[in-house]
Amino acid sequence: MYARQPLYCLELYLRTWVRYRLTQDDAMANPQTKSPTVISLFQLIKQQLLKIAFAALIVIPCVITSSSTHASEVLRIRAIVNDDVISFYDLFQRVRLLIMTSAIPDSPDNRRRLAPQVLRAMIDEKLRLQEATRLNIRVPTSRVDRQISLLEKRNNLPSGGIPQLLDEASIGHSVLREKLRGELAWQSIVRRRLIKQVNVSNEEIEDEIRRLKSIQHLPKYKVSEIFLSVDNPDQEDQVLDVARRLLSQLDAGAKFNLIAREFSQSSSAATGGNLGTVSKGQLDPKLEVALDALTIGGLAGPLRTLSGFYILKLHERISPTKSTNKPVMALVSQLLLPLKAEAKKAEIESQENIATQIRETSTSCKHLYESGRALDTPQSGSLGKINIEALHPVISKAIRDLPANKVSPTIRVAEGLLLMMVCEWDKPKSSLPPKKEVRARLGDRQLNLLMQRYMRDLRRTAFIDLRG
């Protein structure tokens, strides 16, 4: 666009001057006009001044037009968020900032790939700052300064180290300051509007402790997450595309914790997406299946859940400690649906359907016992407290990692179809988190949902105009 501008100006100048000369030549050649006289020095000077004037009249507007075109290209609007504007230059600077802080190679292709998700984050940032203004929440300059000092200490930089890095990368100081101002404003909104809505009852804490106790023998994961919410079905493809681009950057070597801080919409974003240690049974089943298939350090995603897309990173897999001196004991019940060796296909399918129904409806050993009694299956009932490892290997494997009061998968044995349930595990005690920590975890879970809903509402009521 810019390369064509001087050529256009030159062409316009030449065309205008030729038109002028033709007019002069016609006048000289016309016999009705006065005979040409000797050209004086004054006339020569006048002709040269006319040439200069023509050139100025043509070139100066072109130069002005070229400069203004360049400026408008730099400040061209990329998005309008209510009354605020995000220019292409703003977006370019934020992409540069992300590349500088996330160990992503700086290339035109990477900048192009990062732009959509950076723009999404900038739009959310504008919405948060606007909401802070509406609530009369101000972020003083001193608070931003303290945050920059904290970042310098965290990254082992001297005082003034971050501004120096920004200068070396040709990134304006205001780019980082505006980003931090948005984060601090959101923290203030959460404290003022959302934290007071979090209410964890003692009953919820006791229920959670009982649940943790029932799964403490299961494998655990040390995992980090990036969560991207889907506010309405129309955004499905857009959010999925963003998630795939983030995963691509992570595969290329970008730092997970920095990408999570920048883009994750979960409360764990404040800690770089770190979820700490979670037990099997605490996460969405889809996420657990993905984690089970990962090697240490591996990435999984994008994984669709009810609320949005997840990207996971597995840091460590912790197997439950088993005592070599003490057997693994449990109070166990069973239900046997008898089948003869020569049973027909229709009979087998009938018993399998019954087994599926029992698995879906039985939530305690009492329910399992009542089902066996109703079906009049004589080999059903409590087995008492037994050593799990002493059972047949197929049966032991099926219930070894089974949470209490959950029916096992159907086990085919010689006598028919067997369903097992652990009523209570009698395993060596492992440390459970104190009530204070359990309350904090449940509170974080509630707060996370409130934050997602708040941002969803801000997006839905906002005027957002994306421009190419």
Does 289 share its domain with 308? Answer: yes
**Calpha distance 141→181 (Å, rounded):** 9
Does 56 share its domain with 107? Answer: no
Residues 195, 201, 207: CA angle, nearest 5 degrees: 125
Please report whether residue 451 resides in a domain: no
Burial of 239 (0-12, 13-18, 19+ CB in 10 A): buried
Amino acid identity at 443: G
Please report whether residue 389 resides in a domain: yes
Look at residue 415 and tell me whether its pLDDT is greater than 80.
yes
Does 279 share its domain with 300? Answer: yes
Does 109 share its domain with 188? Answer: yes
Please report whether residue 387 resides in a domain: yes
In the 8-state DSSP scheme, what is residue 171?
A: -
Residue 68 domain boundaries:
4-74
Please report whether residue 447 resides in a domain: no
Does 66 share its domain with 101? Answer: no
Q: Which residues have C-beta within 8 Å of that of residue 379, sequence separation ≥ 6? A: 334, 336, 338, 415
Look at residue 133 and tell me whether its pLDDT is greater than 90.
yes
Does 340 share its domain with 311? Answer: no
Domain boundary among 321, 339, 362: 321
CB of 147 closer than 8 Å to CB of 180: yes
- Go through the chain and tell me how many residues it has: 468
Please report whether residue 367 resides in a domain: yes
Please report whether residue 449 resides in a domain: no
Q: Which of 365, 402, 359 is nearest to 382 (CA)?
A: 365
At 226 the pLDDT is 93
Amino acid identity at 407: V
Tens of pLDDT, residue by residue over 197-232, are 999 999 999 998 888 888 777 888 899 999 988 877
Give me 404's structure tokens.
Answer: 């209490």
Does 166 share its domain with 191? Answer: yes
Domain boundary among 74, 106, 129: 74
Q: Which of 122, 177, 179, 173 is nearest to 144 (CA)?
A: 177
Look at residue 118 and tell me whether its pLDDT is greater than 50.
yes
Q: In the chain, what percentage of residues exceed pLDDT 90? A: 29
Please report whether residue 463 resides in a domain: no
Please report whether residue 270 resides in a domain: yes
At 281 the pLDDT is 73
Give the number of domains in the chain.
4
Does 225 share its domain with 257? Answer: yes
CATH number at 164 reads: 1.10.4030.10
Give me 416's structure tokens.
Answer: 């028919």
Inter-helix orientation angle 345-361/365-375, to 10°: 150
Does 224 share its domain with 171? Answer: no
At 178 the pLDDT is 94
CATH number at 343 reads: 3.10.50.40
Tens of pLDDT, residue by residue over 235-286, are 788 889 888 988 988 888 888 988 888 888 887 887 888 888 887 777 888 8
Does 86 share its domain with 63? Answer: no
Does 315 share its domain with 421? Answer: no
Looking up tokens 């197997």, which residue turns up?
319
**Calpha distance 380→417 (Å, rounded):** 11
At 9 the pLDDT is 44
Q: In the chain, what percentage of residues exceed pLDDT 70? A: 81
**Calpha distance 186→158 (Å, rounded):** 28
